[in-house]
Amino acid sequence: MRRKALVLGVVCAGALLLAASALAGNGGTLPVTPHSPNARNTREAYYVVLVFTAIVFVGVEGALIVLMAKYRRGKRARTADGLQLHGSTRLEVLWTVVPVIILAVIGTFVFYILPSIANAPSASAANSTTIKVEGRQFYWMFHYPNDAVSVGTMVAPADNIVNEDVFAPDTDVLHSWWVPQLGGKIDAIPGRTNHTWFKAPVGTYAARCSDLCGIQHTMMLATVQVKSRADYEKFIADRAANPTSVALGKEEWDHVCAVCHRLDSAYIGPSLGGNPLLTHPDRLAVLLRNGFGRMPAVGSDWTDDQIAALVAYYKELTKGNG
Ligand code: CUA
């Protein structure tokens, strides 16, 4: 019996060790390396709570094991009564007061740090910008202050306060905008605008939807490209000057169409290769703006320019294929 327990214990410990190293590759269950002040403060709060909960866990489980060993039956007959214990005022006061103190410390710290996570620091117009983040089945669209748009890739200025107005159209469903390195999740709710922000150095950061929003939820990925302020200004100026660009069309294809369609075979939706609709802006516009059958109205607020950009890219993509 004792040997069986020992073997079981060793197997469990081994499994736990392996699990720990397997998870460590991508940070495991710990927060990713933060690149924005709000993400840093979120991680700080995580570690403060982790320290207290770890102490409580080790204390409670340790006491459990010690007491189980100490008061085990041993050589006593099965029918004999165990040790009779009655109350301990000191212990009872302790296990009431200590948890209250722990909760008070955690609560105070969290409420102290919360404003620095939720609220963007004030910044001049030259050191900040506001980007609207639109969640749709199944892509992210970004609207810049000069009315330029991008799909699937947000471009943002480095070391500036980037305010994000996160929303979804009235006709869509719930999504949740999440760039783990740049802060917490924020819901994209139809008909309502939520606010978050970040301030990050030059770099590329992965973003994703973190609310189950339909069949292709897992494909609702995006990238945040943080560039110098000059490069950011140049990007949105170029976009505004070339509203039907192939570059925009490629983003729309990759992040909107290709999420559910392939060129050469049926996927979630029918194959799009050789589909005459894609070269007719007017007919394509009707489909994108109204949806059809199971297809959502993915382009319900797209401009004619955005649809022309998609047609331009599709023609280039299928050039030579007839
Ligand atoms: Cu959008 Cu999940």
175 lines ligand 1 (CB under 6 A): yes
The CA distance from 127 to 157, in Å, is 9
Percent of the chain exceeding pLDDT 90 equals 68
At position 250, the amino acid (one-letter code) is K
Nearest CA to ligand 1 atom 1: 175
Is 5 a residue whose pLDDT tops 60? yes
Q: Which of the four pLDDT bands, split at 50, 70 and 90, describes residue 280? A: confident
The secondary structure element, H or E, covering residue 140 is: strand 139-143
Q: Which of 149, 142, 144 is nearest to 177 (CA)?
A: 142
- Residue 303's pLDDT is 93
168 lines ligand 1 (CB under 6 A): no
pLDDT, tens digit, 9 for 90 and up, residues 234-271:
999 999 999 999 999 999 999 999 999 998 888 999 88
Ligand 1 midpoint to CA 1 (Å): 51
Q: What's the distance, CA 131 to chain centroid? A: 17
Q: Which residues pair with 150 in a beta bridge?
A: 142
pLDDT digits 0-9 by tens, 174-207:
999 999 999 999 999 999 999 999 999 999 999 9
3-state secondary structure of 126: helix
- pLDDT confidence of 19, banded at 50, 70, 90? low
In this prediction, residue 307 has a pLDDT band, given cuts at 50, 70 and 90, of: very high
Task: Decide whether any atom of ligand 1 lies within 6 Å of the 134 Cβ.
Answer: no
- Does 209 contact ligand 1 (Cβ within 6 A)? yes
Atom of ligand 1 nearest to the CA of 212: 2
Largest CA distance in the chain: 90
Q: How far is CA 225 from the centre of its chain?
A: 16
Task: Indicate if the alpha-carbon torsion angle 149, 154, 156, 162 is positive or negative.
Answer: positive
